[in-house]
Structure 1
Amino acid sequence: MEWKNIYRGMIMGASDVIPGVSGGTIAVVLGIYDQLIESINGFFSREWKKHLGFLLPLGAGIVASILLLSHVIEWLFEHYPGPTKFFFLGLIIGVLPYLFHKAEAKRTFKLQHIVLLLIGAAIVASMVFFQTGESEPMTEFSFQSYLFLFFSGMIASSAMILPGISGSFILLIIGVYSTIISAVSDLRLDVIAVVGVGILIGIVLMSKIIHFFLENFTTGTYAVVIGLVIGSIVVIFPGVPAGGAIILSVVTFALGLGLAYLLGKVEYKA
């Protein structure tokens, strides 16, 4: 068992609660994105026990973080949205040099890879123009609403595993974010189960697609992934802070950069 994946999972789980911050991006930040995709696919092979040792503590950390920290993250996002987002900005910007190094961009990137990077960045950055269709949490549930929640979880998780695209943000656009967060807070097991199954199916399907491209088009896939991460900077950026929030935002941004540096030293050993 890779027990240090518990803390990795907790960071990913905390980020997944925040619309605009991608769990896939945090997996890249932590240096485990390739292994995450490989383990999800390998779980259905003969070597499932080895991959279970990677996924189980990671999943436990994600679930624990969502259950234990969802209120804290929601509170920070509600009362200090700017400084909270600047922390994640520092985290993401700070890890980009390590990501370029891991991709060996100076040696492998050609013109077509730079184009792919720009396309990936533009796709994610364009999400900042989306209008959310968020509504009040659902209070009555029918077969149709459960089916809608199932497919919402499936679509969001497919996005969630892609760096730069926030599953929570997709739920916000669809209009079920508040319903799912409310269900987690109130432990509505029926809603959690339906959405959870949709999330699992979406993650498995999308991971197979990503695994195929990583295996067959490694450099191009890295270029797109880096582009998606860069594009997320535009989505997360909350604007120039005003008044006293400037100092706090600078501090949280510096904390994010510092944490990214430490994670780079620990996680990116290549």
Structure 2
Amino acid sequence: MEWKNIYRGFLMGISDLIPGVSGGTIAFLLGIYDRLLISISGFFSREWKKHIGFLLPLGIGIGLTLLLFSKVIKFLLENYEQPTQFFFLGLILGVIPFISKQAGVKKNFKFGHFILLIVVAVLLASTVFIKPADSTIITQLTFQNALGLFFAGWAGSMAMLLPGVSGSFVLLLLGVYATAINALATINLPIIIVIGAGVIVGFIASSKIIHYLLANFTHGMFAIIIGLIIGSVFVIYPGIPESGTPFVMSIIAVIMGLIVANMFSAIDTTSD
């Protein structure tokens, strides 16, 4: 068992609670993105035993974080929204040089790759103008809303695996984010199970697709991934903070995010 994956899962779980922050970005930052895709797709094959030692501790870390920190994240976003968003903004900005180095942008990218990168970044950034769907909190299941929650979980999980695309942001756009956070905070098991089932199905399908594309269209996929991460900066940007304490807190938060990004990328690229 790779028990250090618990802390990695902890970081991915926290990021997945924040609209605009991608668990895939954190996986890339931690140097485990490729292995995550391989392990998820491989777990549902005859060679599942090979991957359980990697996935189980990661899943424990993510699961515990979602259950234990949903109330904390809800509190931070309600009371310290800008500093919290600026911390993750720093984290996202900090990962761009790391991924660019991994992709070998200077050596491998041609003109078409840069165009693809820009188009993807613009498309994701433009989602800030999309009005989220009705976010009425669902506490009781019916067949109709259960189906909707299942497919929302599916869509959210596919986004979670793409660096730069936030599963929480997708849930927010679909009007399900408030329901998901409330279900986690109140341990509403039926709601958690339905959304979780959609998440699992989405992971299985998307991990195979993304892994295939990365293996066969590496440079193009890296262009898309970097574009998604750059675009997510505009999605998560909370606006210019007020002068005084909020401004100072936000500046400190973005610097801390940059430091954490560089610290973890340095640690994990040398340890794996």
Does TM, normalized by the shorter one, top 0.5?
Answer: yes
* Contact 1:29–1:91 (8 Å) recurs in 2: no
Residue 139 of structure 1, CA deviation = 3.6
Aligned length: 270
* Contact 1:134–1:177 (8 Å) recurs in 2: no
Q: In structure 1, what is the equivalent of residue 217 of structure 2? A: 217
Runs of 5+ unmatched residues, structure 2: none
- CA separation in 1, counterparts of 2:134 and 2:229? 25
- Please list, as runs of the form range in 1=range in 2, the aligned pairs for 1:1-270 lying within 5 A after superposition: 1-244=1-244, 245-269=246-270
Residue 47 of structure 1, CA deviation = 3.1
Q: Structure 1 residues 211 and 238, CA, compared in 2 at 3 Å: closer, same or farther?
A: same
Q: Which moved more, 1:256-265 or 1:135-144?
A: 135-144
Question: Aligned partner of 2:247: which letter?
Answer: I
Residue 137 of structure 1, CA deviation = 0.9
Residue 123 of structure 1, CA deviation = 2.2
Runs of 4+ in 1 over 3 A off after TM superposition: none
Residue-by-residue CA offset, 1:99-130 (whole Å, 9 max, x unaligned): 11111111111111112211221222111111
Question: Aligned partner of 2:82: which letter?
Answer: G
Residue 197 of structure 1, CA deviation = 0.7
- CA separation in 2, counterparts of 1:69 and 1:140? 23
TM-score, normalised by the number of residues in structure 2: 0.95
TM-score, normalised by the number of residues in structure 1: 0.96
Residue 134 of structure 1, CA deviation = 3.5
Residue-by-residue CA offset, 1:191-218 (whole Å, 9 max, x unaligned): 1111111110011111111011011111
Residue 92 of structure 1, CA deviation = 1.2
Question: Aligned partner of 2:261: which letter?
Answer: A
* Contact 1:2–1:54 (8 Å) recurs in 2: yes
* Contact 2:24–2:164 (8 Å) recurs in 1: yes
* Contact 1:133–1:174 (8 Å) recurs in 2: yes
Q: What's the C-alpha RMSD, in Å, of the aligned pairs?
A: 1.4
